[in-house]
Structure 1
């Protein structure tokens, strides 16, 4: 059994090394193609447009999020309804003991 393993092991190692080299070469091909696309004119034009619009869109998102947060806060017990400073869990009674 061990003798068979010793005969096969070098072939497995050789297959691994050759496969790793082929995989590395393919990785280098893919990386070079991706770099070429990244540096192309149309992609760089799109990046520039996105960079110009990002602050405007971010401000709009910030405003919407702030409005939604205020609306959600107003729905919480003890907020917005004129009862400030009173925080009582809904399942607890008004005295906070549950009765």
Structure 2
């Protein structure tokens, strides 16, 4: 999961900060469009979403069970 976040951040930073020109941007964009439809990536995204939902639920439970300060 950390690798996926790193790669997504690196890719976005490269695309946004790149001076390689439009051709390279289009190549990266096509690669992303192809990758985002990959069932493996969608599966990883689903697992990540479920973990984030669980973490948020746990945080809300802890925040609600603590006495106010």
- TM-score class, shorter-chain normalisation, is 0.5 to 0.7
Give the alignment's TM-score, normalised by structure 1: 0.40
Divergent runs of 4+, >2 A: 50-57, 64-67
Tell me the equivalent position of 2:29: 31
Note the residue ranges of structure 2 that are not aligned, 5 or more in a row. 1-18
Higher relative CO (Cα under 8 Å, sequence separation at least 6) belongs to: 2
Structure ID, larger Rg: 1
In structure 1, distance between residues paired with 2:44 and 2:31: 18
In structure 1, distance between residues paired with 2:21 and 2:53: 41
Cα-to-partner distance string for 1:10-35 (whole Å, 9 max, x where unaligned): xxxxxxxxxx9x71111100111122
Root-mean-square deviation (Å): 2.5
Higher helix share: 2
Give the alignment's TM-score, normalised by structure 2: 0.53
